[in-house]
Amino acid sequence: MRLLKKKKIINEDYRIDLFTMFLSSAAFTGYIPFASGTFGSAFALIFLLIPGFPNPVVLGTLSLIFFFVGIITSERMMFRYGDDPSVVVLDEVVGMWITLLIAVIFLKELNYISVVISFLSFRLFDIFKIWPAKYFDRLKSGFGIMFDDVVAGIYGGVFTVIIMKLINDYIKW
């Protein structure tokens, strides 16, 4: 795992439109020179400040829409930056939203503790890429870029629910 990633450019001549760069890099957070995936995941949490966003229908719908948008924009970014470009962090946004979606479905609501656990668990599973996430990561396609984070998001959501259930059962607030 590299904390500081050099943004490699494999095709200087390939131009990417601003819309693709903006979306795939999650409002340019992917261009932060270190821990871009972590910043992309944190960017996903900002949306929790929007009233109604933690609703499962909203989270699920936006996750699905941005999953497909991410496949298209990731493919375009690969022409310039190569396989699984570090500037692409829309996959982290979608993965983080999936973690939150699972948490809100099973916990009924999110609080600060569940959000922190969701963030940490998603990052953990995204970094270590437990099977089948590793399989999808190796596909070297827009689908692979996006789907390995979907898997990490599912793992992160399940882990969050388990930890929160344990906390709620054994720690009285």
Residue 73 domain flag: yes
Cis, bond preceding 54 (omega within 30 deg of 0): no
Structure tokens at 124: 């953990």
Residues 6 or more apart whose Cβ sits within 8 Å of residue 83:
140
Q: How many domains is the chain partitioned into structurally?
A: 1
Q: φ and ψ at 4, to 5 degrees?
A: -100, 115
Residue 2 domain flag: no
Residue 100 domain flag: yes
Res. 93: pLDDT tops 80: yes
Handedness of CA 35, 119, 173, 168 (dihedral sign): negative
Residue 7 domain flag: no
Residue 136 carries which side chain, given as an amino acid letter? F
**The residue to which tokens 């995936």 are assigned:** 37
pLDDT at 170: 81
Residues 6 or more apart whose Cβ sits within 8 Å of residue 46:
none
Range of the domain at 103: 18-170
pLDDT at 48: 93
Number of CB atoms found within 10 A of residue 51's CB: 7
Q: What angle do CA 139, 72, 124 make, to 5 degrees?
A: 55
Residue 53 domain flag: yes
Residue 71 domain flag: yes
Is 25 in contact with 88 (CB distance < 8 Å)? yes
- Give the pLDDT mean for 68-94: 87
pLDDT at 57: 95
pLDDT at 2: 47
Residue 9 domain flag: no
Taking the C-alpha atoms of residue 161 and residue 167, their distance in angstroms, rounded to an integer, is 10
Lowest mean pLDDT among 72-76, 83-87, 161-165: 83-87
pLDDT digits (tens, 9 = 90+) for 106-153: 998 899 999 999 999 999 999 888 899 788 878 888 898 898 999 999
Per-residue confidence band for 86, with pLDDT thresholds at 50, 70 and 90: confident
Which of the pair, 30 or 97, is modelled with greater confidence?
97
Res. 1: pLDDT tops 60: no
Residue 13 domain flag: no
Which of the pair, 150 or 168, is modelled with greater confidence?
150
Taking the C-alpha atoms of residue 12 and residue 124, their distance in angstroms, rounded to an integer, is 33
pLDDT digits (tens, 9 = 90+) for 4-63: 555 676 667 678 888 888 988 888 898 888 888 899 999 999 999 999 999 999 999 999
pLDDT at 7: 63
Q: Which alpha helices (DSSP H) does the chain contain, by range?
A: 18-24, 36-46, 56-81, 90-107, 112-128, 133-137, 142-170
Query: Of the candidates 125, 142, 119, which has an alpha carbon nearest to the alpha carbon of residue 134?
Result: 125
pLDDT at 11: 63
